[in-house]
Amino acid sequence: MYAAIASDLDGTLLDAQQTINALTADTLRAAAARGIHLIIATGRHVRDVQRLTAPLDLPISMITSNGARVHGSDGKLLQATDLEPSQVHQLVQPELARGSLMSVYQDEGRLSCVHEGYLLREGDPELGTRHDDLSGHDGVGVAKVLYTGHPDTLAEIEARIRQRLGEQVAVTYSQPDYLEVMAAGVNKGQALTRLLRRRGIALAQCAAFGDGLNDVEMLQAVGHPFRMANANPKLNALLPAVPQAGHHNEAGVAQQIRRALGLA
C-alpha cells in the first residue's frame, strides 16, 4: 500500500483529450478514501491544475511549474521559488528566444510572446495573455520561463541559456517542444521531498508516475516510481530500471493504482 501518490499530468494522468477520465477519477477517489495523500506534480500553472482537479472534489496537493510552486491539499501556498529578476531579464530577450513562443509564469497568470512566429497551439488559453514584447519585463515574481518551439530550435535556445547562465538556473523539457527554465535547484523531486517531509510521509512509501524529462528527479526520489508506456525515449534511457505503467490514454496510472489497492 502506498502512503502517497504523485503524478504528472500531461502524458501521464490525463488522457489524449487532456482530461481525467472516469476510471482515473474513481480510482483517485478510492485511493483518497483509504487515506492515501494525492499529489499532482506538473510543469503547468497552478490554475490549470485547479481547473482540472476541481470536479474531483478531493484534497490534492499541487507541485506546479516543475517545483517552483507547492500548494498543500488545503490550497495554501507552501513553497515559492522564483528566478532572479536579472536572470528573467536575460531569458526574455528576443535574440535569445528567437524561433519560439515564450511564456512567463507568474502567480497571477501567464504572459506570452511569439518570436519569429512559432506557435504550437494558436488560440490556446493556457498560453496566457499575448504581448508583442516582454524584453522590458521587471523580472519580479517569475516561477518559470517556457519556450515552445521545434526541438532543434529549442536546442539552440538551451545552448544560449547555458552559455549565459550556466548552473545559475535549472533547465528541463516537459515535452520535446517545451523547454522550461526555473531557478537553480528547482525540480519536482526536491519539491516532493519537502512536501512529504511536512506530511511525515517517507519517500519509500510514495509512488510516482511520469513520462517526461522533468519527471526524472521525482522518479529517482521515491520508493515506487513508474514511467509511462508512452514515456519520452530519453527518460526511458535515463531510468531503464524503473518499472513501466500502462499508456496514458489507457488509464495507465489508474490501472497501476488499482492493482496496488487490490481493485484490478
The catalytic residues are 8
Distance CA(44)–CA(172), nearest Å, equals: 13
User: Cα–Cα–Cα angle for 247, 249, 251, nearest 5°?
Assistant: 75
Residue 263 has which C-alpha cell? 481493485
Residue 255 has which C-alpha cell? 490501472
Distance CA(80)–CA(64), nearest Å, equals: 10
Beta bridge partners of 110: 105
Q: C-alpha distances in angstroms, 86 versus 59, 83, 216, 250?
A: 37, 8, 28, 44
Question: Residues near 256 by Cβ (< 8 Å), separated by ≥ 6?
Answer: 207, 209, 226, 245, 246
User: Cα–Cα–Cα angle for 54, 193, 231, nearest 5°?
Assistant: 70
